[in-house]
Amino acid sequence: MCTYALLIGGLVYWQAIADLEGHPLNPTGYAVFRQPRGAIVDRDGKPLAESVSTDVGYRRVYASPSVSHITGYFHQRYGMTGLEKAYNSSLSQGQTVRTTIALPLQKHMEELMAGKVGAAVAMDPKTGAVLALVSYPYVDGNRLDESWSDYLQDERSPFVNRAVQGQYPPGSAIKPLVLGAAFAERAAYPEQPWVDRGAVELEGRAIKNFQGQALGRITTLEALAHSSNVVFALLAAELGPKLLTALSQFGLGEIPPLPLPMSRGRLPSPEQSDYGWGQIGIGHGDLLVTPLQMASAVSAIANGGKLMRPLLVQEVRGGWRLPRVQLPAAYTQVIPEWAAAAVRDGMVLAVERGTAREAALPGIPTAGKTGTAQTGAGQDHSWFVGFAPAYDPEVAVVVVLEHGGIASQTAAPLGGAVLQAALAACTPQGM
């Protein structure tokens, strides 16, 4: 125990030294503001962060307020965060950091999220490239001096990047993953009949549908489309610990390998009662996820069950060093392709005539799922996860609204708007 404490103490000490050496307030650090710094650009080369000349040197300018949760900021008084910090060495040498972000989409999603509290992520499901990542509220890197005290006093915590650090119960947004696991384990099949009476008892405790609605005779795919808590509680109880294995393979409970401060979320203990498994199967219990994790997981369903490594930085180039390039890479085949296709069909049904109807796009087959997650205080959180076009996906999106209320009325229409913006802004590009 003493050795462990010494080790942690040493790590903290050396991290503090490193932070002090790299902090712009360090007298030796002021020199970095007397020379131009490399740019951080979007996938098409549009600047997200760049240096502009002033009377006393150079200062950083950011393309849009919401990019601060991606680029971070680089400031004499307030230090550095985000990609500015992660790639400080390269940027200080004048190198350019090219991201996967599509700036027009980033700006559009920023407008769609304005005034709300939550996050939205758009991802290319075939490559894992993060196309846009918005957390609201945010810290505007162009207004740190004027607004710093306001940011510190804002109870909505604008410094928190909710897209990658926010940890939320997923509610029914977890059901596509549960269904994928059930199909892969042959615990259910798409047209299997069920009788949903509005509630089910597991070990003497009831799990109910929203408002206790009885859905009657339904198939498994209809259970997803209409968000049957009864069916998904039973499926999760049948899967037991196998469900945790599947959720882990989808990337939940793991820190994504992006150069930003991340949260792990939380997977429950494998020691659960049937009732406990039932709660997990409907996205409650001791289960927390981040929006980015959900974007990766839903992208895997869109990508035929194949989970791609999330990608934010494509290339570091410039100076005398050879370019450093990151290519798309697959993690694993989480569920069989046929199982992913069946889940997709259930998500299409959810948009056509289920809980995600408000996310429908004119003339474009769309796959989606809503989630309303209980918080214990105030209105519930609301989720939308989905992708389009459903049968040849170009983009997957996740939207979460803190205390947004009923997801079919709030997150679903917003998710549809995000999908439409993403399809308009992001034509497929080679990586």
Pairing of strands 395-401, 118-123: antiparallel
Beta bridge partners, 54, equal 57
φ and ψ of 41, to 5 deg: -125, 165
Looking from the CA of 18 toward its CB, the CA atoms found within 13 Å total: 10
Beta bridge partners, 193, equal 219
Q: What is the 3-state secondary structure (H, E, C) of 217-232?
A: EEEHHHHHHCCCHHHH
Give whole-number Cα distances, 129 to 71, 84, 215, 314, in Å.
16, 19, 38, 9
Helices of type H across 24-167: 68-71, 82-86, 88-92, 103-113, 144-153, 162-165
Residue 327 exposed, middle or buried by CB count within 10 Å (0-12, 13-18, 19+): exposed
Long-range contact pairs involving 197-206 (C-beta distance under 8 Å, separation at least 24): 197/230, 198/230, 199/230, 200/229, 200/230, 200/233, 200/234, 200/278, 202/233, 202/237, 202/273, 202/274, 202/275, 202/277, 202/278, 203/273, 203/274, 203/275, 205/275
The answer to whether 353 and 227 have CB atoms below 8 angstroms apart is: no
Give whole-number Cα distances, 13 to 9, 17, 19, 243, in Å.
6, 6, 10, 41
Please report the beta strands in 20-152, taking only residues with DSSP state E, as ranges in sequence order.
40-41, 47-54, 57-62, 74-75, 79-80, 96-99, 118-123, 130-136
Helices of type H across 47-143: 68-71, 82-86, 88-92, 103-113
CA distance 370 to 373: 10
Record the tokens describing residue 58, joined without a space: 């150079």
Helices of type H across 201-284: 220-225, 229-239, 241-249, 274-281
Structural domains in the chain, sorted by start: 165-311+328-425 (3.40.710.10)
Per-residue pLDDT of the chain (431 residues; tens, 9 = 90+): 333 232 223 333 233 334 444 454 454 455 556 678 999 999 999 999 999 988 777 889 999 999 999 999 999 899 999 999 999 999 999 999 999 999 999 999 999 999 999 999 999 999 999 999 999 999 999 999 999 999 999 999 999 999 999 999 999 999 999 999 999 999 999 999 999 999 999 999 999 999 999 999 999 999 999 999 999 999 999 999 999 999 999 999 999 999 999 999 999 999 999 999 999 999 999 999 999 999 999 999 999 999 999 999 999 998 766 678 888 888 899 999 999 999 999 999 999 999 999 999 999 999 999 999 988 778 899 999 999 999 999 999 999 999 999 999 999 999 999 999 999 987 544 44
φ and ψ of 68, to 5 deg: -60, -25
Q: Is 133 helix (H, G, I), strand (E, B) or coil?
A: strand
State the residue for tokens 């005398």: 320
CA distance 118 to 114: 10
Task: Write down the pTM of the prediction.
Answer: 0.90
Pairing of strands 40-41, 96-99: parallel
Pairing of strands 381-388, 395-401: antiparallel
DSSP labels, 169-195: --GGGGHHHHHHHHHHTTS--TT-EEE
Of the candidates 50, 55, 24, 52, which has an alpha carbon nearest to the alpha carbon of residue 39? 50
pLDDT for 427 equals: 59
pLDDT for 325 equals: 84
Chain centroid to CA 109: 14
pLDDT for 33 equals: 64
CA distance 56 to 322: 32
